Amino acid sequence: MARIIRGLIFFVLIVIPIVFYSTLNKDKNRSKTMSLLNSQQSDDLKPSVALIIDDLGESLSDLRELYSLDVPLTVSIIPNLKFSKNIANIASRCGFSVFIHLPLEPKQGEKYQSKRYRFLSPDLSQRENEALLRDYLNSLRVAVGVNNHMGSKATEDYQFMAFLMKKIKNKGLVYVDSRTSLDSVAYDVCQRSGLTCGYNQGFLDGLDDLEHIEKQIEELAGKAQDKGKMIIIAHPRPNTLKALKRKISRLKEKVNFITIKEYFSL
């Protein structure tokens, strides 16, 4: 009798709690799994946006501000500026894609001349362009691609862009046409060269005005829904960063932010 009683006590105190806990844990795991699946399914239905932030290289604080947004991004860095290499390496470790923001000659080039960099240009000799391009493309080892900094003149020159695309392709990089000119031939040349390429489908901050930028961000979800996925460009200016901080949480409910590596499945 005593043995039976001890057996019953063991069953009540040990076996039943174990079975109960095991069942409860399975239910929790099942619920958690279903929640993750539903979340993934919801994300799969959202359009994707690859946001490129141009003009980095002179300030580490810009990168800190971008990291605080807590979304996948691509940072495009002007070569050989004070913090270009540091920003590239840190950004890569943060999970961002890194681009080389290639200085190409704009119209009225003399107006935009800078001591910080030299524009690649159809007006330079082939030897000058080759030396300059080699320096730029080798400057950021973690870069996965290139987009043009300015370039409204250069990107309209078919022969010059064919020269650039050949060199970029040889480096195993992708190219995104920033579309700084409505008459740009860069994307067309890029496609013909067999290079993996895309193009900018809208500047968030073409006008450096807080209200305008917020409106552009609000309209982004609808544009992305129409296209399925898209590439857009912005800059690390105070108004842009302020607008993104205000609007990013709501926008994340409607679109998936992805890096350029994810966009091109690199």
Share of the chain above pLDDT 90, in %: 79
Judged against a pLDDT cut of 70, whether residue 205 lies above it is answered with: yes
Place of tokens 């390429």: 197
Q: 177 and 149 in contact (C-beta within 8 Å)?
A: no
- Give the C-alpha separation, 57 to 55, whole Å: 7
pLDDT for 140-169, tens place per residue? 999 999 999 999 999 999 999 999 999 999
- Could you tell me which of 3, 6, 26 has the C-alpha nearest to residue 14? 6
Task: Please count the residues of the chain.
Answer: 266
Residue type present at position 249: S
- Could you tell me which of 196, 217, 89, 199 has the C-alpha nearest to residue 155? 199
What is the pLDDT averaged over residues 82-94? 98
- Could you tell me which of 192, 216, 219, 189 has the C-alpha nearest to residue 205? 216
Judged against a pLDDT cut of 50, whether residue 248 lies above it is answered with: yes
Judged against a pLDDT cut of 80, whether residue 3 lies above it is answered with: no
Judged against a pLDDT cut of 70, whether residue 30 lies above it is answered with: no
Per-residue pLDDT band for 26 (boundaries 50, 70, 90) equals low
pLDDT for 110: 76
Kindly write down the DSSP assignment for every residue of 238-265, as one continuous string. HHHHHHHHHHHHHHHTT-EEE-HHHHTT
pLDDT for 107-148, tens place per residue? 987 778 888 999 999 999 999 999 999 999 999 999 999 999
pLDDT for 39: 46
pLDDT for 234-244, tens place per residue? 999 999 999 99
Judged against a pLDDT cut of 60, whether residue 40 lies above it is answered with: no
139 by DSSP, 3-state: which? coil
pLDDT for 54: 99
Angle, helix 84-93 to helix 60-67, in steps of 10 degrees: 20
pLDDT for 52-74, tens place per residue? 999 999 999 999 999 999 999 99
Judged against a pLDDT cut of 50, whether residue 208 lies above it is answered with: yes
Judged against a pLDDT cut of 50, whether residue 258 lies above it is answered with: yes
Kindly write down the DSSP assignment for every residue of 63-123, as one continuous string. HHHHHTT-S--EEEE-TTSTTHHHHHHHHHHTT-EEEEEEEEPPTTGGGG--SS---B-TT
Q: 217 and 193 in contact (C-beta within 8 Å)?
A: no
Judged against a pLDDT cut of 50, whether residue 210 lies above it is answered with: yes
